[in-house]
Amino acid sequence: MAVIKVFDRLPNVGDALFLVSNVITWVRYAESAPSGGTFVGVVFHRNGHDVYILNKTSAYKKYKTEATTDGDAYTNSEYYRNDGSKANTRGMMNIERASAYWSTHGRTPSANETIPAAANANPVTKTAFESSAYCKILRQTYASYEAYLDAGLGVKFPQEYGCFGLPNGKTITYALNNSAHPAFQYCAGITYNVDGLAAGDWYLPGVYEGTALMRDKVLSKVAATMTKFGGTAPTNSSYRWFAQRCYTANAWLFDGNNGCLTNSAVTNEIVAQAVAVLKV
C-alpha cells in the first residue's frame, strides 16, 4: 500500500483526488489532470483531518432484493431537524430544491405558526410565509423563506443529536455486504491499491454524509469537478440511497423532487454511490 502524499494544504471541497503511481494527489478544479493519473473521486466534506471522498462512479441498485429483515436490525424511523424537533418525514437536505417545491406544495396555515414547528409538519408555502398573518413569527425570526426552511426543517447532522450515529454507514455496509443487498455490495466492491481507498474503505453513505453532500454550495463544486474529469455528477434532482432503513420495507434516501430526506421501498433501484474517509 502507498502512503498518502502530504501537501502544504488540506484539500478543499470540490478538489479532485487522483492517483499518480499509487500516490494521492489533490487537483483543484481549475487545474489539469496529472499525467498518468487515475481519477478516483471528489472531496465533498471535511471534518478536521477527516476528508470525505465521493467515488467517481454510481449505479442504480436495490437496497435489498426483498422486503424482509433477515436479521437486519439497522432500522430508525426518526431523525432530528435543525429546530430540534423529531420527525420521520420531510427533513430538508437541499435548500434550492426544497424552496422550489415547498413554495407551491407547502401548507396554507389556519392558525398561528410556532417555533419549533409541530412534529412532522410540512413547511408553509412561500406566499403564506411572506404575507399570511399566521406567519408573523416566521417573518420576525427568519430573513427569508430559504432561511426558514433551512433553520426549521433542515436535517441535523446526526452526531449532534445521536440520531443515525450508531451504527453508521460503514458499519451497515459491511454487515450487509451480500447479494441480498445489491447497493451495499456494489459500494463495498470498490477498491484501489492505496491506504484509505482499498477494499473495506468504501461504503454506502449514511445520513451524515448525505446531509453534507446534498447542500447547494457543495453540489455545485462536486458536480463541476466530476463532470470535468469524467465522473458521475450528483445533482439536487437525483434520488440517492442512504445506509439505513426506516421500516422493514423502506429505506432512507434523498428525494430529488423536494430536496428532502424521505424513504422508498427497498426493492426499488435507486442510485448508490460510495464514499470513503481519508485522514490527512
Q: What is the mean pLDDT of residues 165-174?
A: 76
Q: Assess whether the previous peptide bond of 167 is cis (omega < 30° from 0).
A: yes
> Higher model confidence: residue 105 or residue 85?
105
Does the pLDDT at position 144 exceed 50? Answer: yes
Cell of 64: 435489498
Percentage of the chain surpassing pLDDT 70?
84
Task: Calculate helix-pair angle for 95-105, 145-153, nearest 10 degrees.
Answer: 100
Q: What is the mean pLDDT of residues 28-48?
A: 93
Q: What is the mean pLDDT of residues 122-126?
A: 91
Does the pLDDT at position 5 exceed 50? Answer: yes
> pTM, whole model, 2 decimals?
0.88
Distance CA 128, CA 158 (A): 30
Residue 271: per-residue pLDDT = 98
Between the alpha carbon of residue 159 and those of residues 83, 93, 155, 206, the distances in Å are 15, 16, 12, 12
